[in-house]
Copies of this chain bind each other. A is one copy, B any other.
Amino acid sequence: MNSKRASRRRFLKNGAALASLTVGALRSASGQTPGPETPAAVPKGYQPYGQRSHFESSTRTTFHAEGTPPPGVAPFQSWPAVFNPLQDSVGIITPSSLHYVVSTGSVPPDIDPRQHRLLIHGMVDRPLIFTLEELKRLPFVTRIHFLECAGDGSPNVLLTNKGEGPIIQRVMGFTSCSEWTGVLLSLLLREAGVQTGAKWISAEGAETAKHAKSIPLDKAMDDVIVAYGQNGEAVRPDNGYPLRLLVPGWEGINNVKWLRRIQVMDQPPMHSRETNGYNSPRADGSKRWFQFQMGPKSIITFPSDAHRLPGPGFYQIKGLAWSGAGAVRRVEVSTDGGRTWNDAEFQGPVLPKAHSRFRLDWNWNGEETLIQSRCTDDQGVMQPTLAEFGKLRGVDVRVPPPNVSNHFNPIHSWKVARDGSVQYGLFS
């Protein structure tokens, strides 16, 4: 799809000066840029790098896959992982300090950004090596996108871990949304010159476990970002510092952290994560490999099991919706167990492949009820009911919980009891 000639034409359009960006021709800025000055003494109470109030205690809780799963439910793989405390979320941006983490068996490597390199090789005309400083000289993009683990919201995640803290974190805490800044991978691949016959890339991280993932070249040439910035500063260590792949709308596992190598290939190399896991059973008993796109999904973040309504009266239901296909077009909320639905209002920008914040006024009469949200994306796809999901995926949902590890996106429910307490309602 990207012959040497086509790539070169495209490249020249971007400005001939970029031609200097081949290995060896690059002049590294590393070590020549003046480093930050020694932080000055700051007035009492003013920190050079500020902290939150000591009264704030919202924290990520840990995933433990040590529980005994219910009969028929496979345990979710036990990796180091922490959940985003959605019950405390406001807006669409997840604070970097509270971003969910699902990792690949390794602790985050302690990478010196001056030593880090990104290699692009394989079926390319010109293999390239970039320093961080070199990447930061290139045309950047800044985009707000969600990230989500394929298992987020699945019964197997929810029911096979012990779970400290509110259940909402385990219900949907493997999703977060950040403002990402970096270089489009397509720019780097065009500069390297993708050869005829190339169909895939394989991206690899620098952590001990060397997680690697295959991604179709079409996506790599579309909106994938080699990201060095997150929410206005450097990507955090547990999110891939100093460099990660950001694959908008696709399963978290594609978003390779601590990115050090991209190989252009004609076949996917079938890495362990794309063969042993991350597949979905089909109705005919076979399994679907290489599924990528997340959602459409939504979750009510208030009220949830982390909250207790003090009594009947006015509340505003708050939540998040997103879709890997594009922007969220509509969110509907039911406060009567799905009999009637009302259009929620959006707050903040509604952006493609980003969390969108919704709200709905609600007068609670004090009776027990189920509250639910459903998302429709700009492709017209709506979140299914549990029954519809079962049909789509060939899963028997008559005896919950269904044995589903990935891409579980039916409508979730919170059951509000007369005493104002709230329970997860989908499997109750």
Contacts and interface: CB of A to CB of B under 8 A. Distances in A.
A35 interface: yes
Nearest to A15: B361
A233 B179 contact: no
A305 to B, nearest CB: 9
Secondary structure of the A side of the interface? loop
Contacts of A314: 15, 17-18, 20-21, 137-138
Nearest to A109: B45
Interface in A158-172: 164-166
Given A37-B166, A62-B40, A348-B143, A46 B80 contact: yes
Interface string A105-126: 0011011110000000000000
B45 A62 contact: no
A58 B46 contact: no
Contacts of A98: 49-50, 232-233
Contacts of A234: 52-53, 56
Interface string A194-205: 000000000000
Nearest to A112: B55
A94 B316 CA distance: 28
Contact of A29 (B18, B310, B351): B310
A311 interface: yes
Nearest to A78: B43
A93 B231 contact: yes
A336 to B, nearest CB: 16
Interface in A211-242: 228-229, 231-234, 236-238, 241-242
Given A90-B232, A165-B40, A233-B58, A49 B313 contact: no
Nearest to A114: B55
B107 A45 contact: yes
A349 B316 contact: no
Q: State the copy count for this chain.
A: 2
A412 interface: no
A34 B419 CA distance: 13
A39 B57 CA distance: 8
B144 A349 contact: yes
A95 to B, nearest CB: 5
A380 interface: no
Contacts of A107: 43-46
Interface in A17-32: 17-18, 20-21, 27-29, 32
A33 B90 contact: no
A44 B92 CA distance: 28
A308 interface: yes
Contacts of A82: 42-43, 46, 48
Nearest to A354: B349
A340 interface: no
7 closest cross-chain pairs (CB), A and B: A45-B107, A90-B229, A48-B59, A43-B80, A17-B314, A40-B164, A90-B181
